[in-house]
Amino acid sequence: MAAGGALLYHRCGGFGRVCMLRLCASALALLLVIPGLALAADPPSGPIPAAASPDRIKTLPQLTSKAYVKLDTTKGAIVLELDGPNAPVSAGNFLDLVKRKFYDGLVFHRVVPDFVIQGGDPKGNGTGGFIDPATGRERTIPLEIKPTGAKEPVYGRIVETTTPPVLTHSKGALAWARDNNPNSASSQFYIALSDNPSIRALDGRYAVFGRVVSGMEVVAAIRAGDKILKAAETSAPPAGAVPKTP
């Protein structure tokens, strides 16, 4: 389910084995793989896969407006803004899991300084996702990237950074972790700790769907093993309290 720091962690194969992808400012795909494990490169843009078809997308939770979620953690409170207008499926999936109380009690299982904190895994080791009780299977969502100037997001395909996305990996960005398959995000999310070139290299490849609007100092204090005590939808912060989008 993926996302790490200057090292970006991937779940490989069907056994939950972890590989590492190093992202450098000068090269998007310099691979550092654990000995004995292979890591496939992300597939290029192409035909829309079935996992991202319009019929499939219609079955997923969607958010068409902005919404706010408060994460009460062992280090304090974090308030997140979900950007439904620019990432309806990604934001809708997160809000649906919040309303199900899915995140309550889960840990932040990975922290990479100056890169990301990552949580949302019910297994707590980077290999789990949300099992939909209606189907008994893991619910996944397609990669969702809205290029600047586009009317609708692009689904299921990586968007080259020559067309910058509307939602970028700025400091405090909220995004979905995934494995090598662009359409494998489920419940694991990460928050960007910085906006250095390594995190910016994820633009167009990983789905940003919101940002931290309060509590960035709490995000910076999170360590592996810290818990989300409660996640709940909350009201919008007072006018003027929400920082401008970078």
Tell me which of 143 and 28 has the higher pLDDT.
143
Looking at the chain, the whole-number percentage of residues with pLDDT higher than 70 is 77
Specify the pLDDT at position 46: 59
Q: In the structure encoding, which two tokens stand for residue 142, read together?
A: 């397609």
Q: 9 in a domain, yes or no?
A: no
Reported as a single tens digit per residue, the pLDDT across 88-143 is 999 999 999 999 999 999 999 999 999 999 999 999 999 999 999 999 999 999 99
Specify the pLDDT at position 151: 94
Residue 242 pLDDT grade (very low, low, confident, very high; cuts 50, 70, 90): low
CA distance 204 to 88: 16
Q: 114 in a domain, yes or no?
A: yes
What range defines the domain where residue 93 resides?
51-234
| Burial grade of 158 (CB within 10 A; 0-12, 13-18, 19 or more) | middle
Specify the pLDDT at position 84: 98
CA distance 163 to 148: 7
Query: Does residue 108 sit in helix, strand or coil?
Result: strand
CA distance 21 to 37: 12
Q: 242 in a domain, yes or no?
A: no
Reported as a single tens digit per residue, the pLDDT across 52-95 is 899 999 999 999 999 999 999 999 999 999 999 999 999 999 99
Residue 38 pLDDT grade (very low, low, confident, very high; cuts 50, 70, 90): very low
Query: Would you list the DSSP string of 38-50?
Result: --PPPPPS-SPPG
Reported as a single tens digit per residue, the pLDDT across 143-163 is 999 999 999 999 999 998 777
Q: 42 in a domain, yes or no?
A: no
Specify the pLDDT at position 59: 95
Q: 241 in a domain, yes or no?
A: no
Q: 5 in a domain, yes or no?
A: no
Tell me which of 61 and 27 has the higher pLDDT.
61
Q: 190 in a domain, yes or no?
A: yes
**Number of domains making up the chain:** 1
Q: 74 in a domain, yes or no?
A: yes
CA distance 228 to 53: 33
For residue 100, the domain's CATH number is 2.40.100.10
Query: Would you list the DSSP string of 159-209?
Result: --TTS-BSS---TTEEEE---SSTT-B-S-EEEES---HHHHTTTTTS-EE
Reported as a single tens digit per residue, the pLDDT across 197-238 is 999 999 999 999 999 999 999 999 999 999 999 999 999 887
Q: What is the mean pLDDT of residues 37-65?
A: 72
Q: What is the mean pLDDT of residues 164-171?
A: 95
